[in-house]
Amino acid sequence: MAKGSNGPFSAVISLAVWITGVLVSLAVGFAMTGDGVLNQSIPGLAGIGEGIVISIAGWAVVILTLLSAVLAILEKLK
């Protein structure tokens, strides 16, 4: 989609893309933490510290995604 397009559906499409990005980031982040049924891994890093590096990275993804979502919402409310 071209930047700056003002079509009738551009705001809805942008919102849908943003929500999809947040949901995918949270799904991958929680999967990396190893708490769920699905466990994502990064080859080469999974063996370091028995997966603690992957778990820390997963929590970083979750925390940063939530923080950026809150900041984006606050920015829109300004």
pLDDT tens string 20-56: 999 999 988 888 887 555 566 777 766 777 678 888 8
Residue type, 28: V
**Could you give the maximum distance between any two Cα atoms of the chain, in Å?**
51
pLDDT band at 74 (very low <50, low <70, confident <90, very high): very high
pLDDT of residue 39: 65
Q: Which pLDDT does position 3 carry in this prediction?
A: 61
Top-confidence residue, 4 or 14? 14
Looking at residue 55, what is its pLDDT?
85
The residues spanned by each domain of the chain are 21-77
Instruction: Write down the pLDDT at residue 48.
Output: 76
DSSP 52-68: HHHHHHHHHHHHHHHHH
